[in-house]
Amino acid sequence: MRTTAEIAAQISEEFSLLESWEEKYDYLIEKGQNLPEMPAELKSEEHRVKGCQSSVWFATECREGRLYFQTDSDSLIVKGLAALLFELLNGQPAEAYATVDLSLFDTLGFWRHLSSQRSNGLTAMVSFLKSAAEECAARMGG
């Protein structure tokens, strides 16, 4: 399995080919639309990320010390951000979440170009996943 650093480099390269912010947002939305469908029954309060203005859900599963998740959002931009997290982190070892380097979002310029609500939402999504990963690692005795 590729490391988060390798995946981040690939994502960064993909976005670097896009010249305008309109193209980058379109690509981000496209990434969200390409996410695997999340079953409706998983879009519950239990899986809803608190701190997001939009509704966003992460259904996590710990298998053999790795955190897997499904995600969806009712906002196209937020769903795109969730898709980047999915691409970057889904299936990674639980311990990797604690030290994941999110400078990718700086590199891509998203921290500068997102509204404060969306930035807060992205931070909440990452916190949600890190918390699930901690629980996963603890269950594995890590």
Which residue numbers are catalytic?
Answer: 52
Comparing CA positions, the residue from 24, 31, 23 lying closest to residue 85 is 31
Distance CA 2, CA 44 (A): 31
The H-assigned helical ranges of 48-142 are 76-89, 94-98, 103-107, 110-113, 116-139
For residues 57 and 73, is the Cβ–Cβ distance under 8 A? yes
**Residue position matching structure tokens 């509704």:** 55
Three-state SS at 71: strand
Distance of CA 48 to the CA centre of its chain: 14
Distance CA 96, CA 38 (A): 24
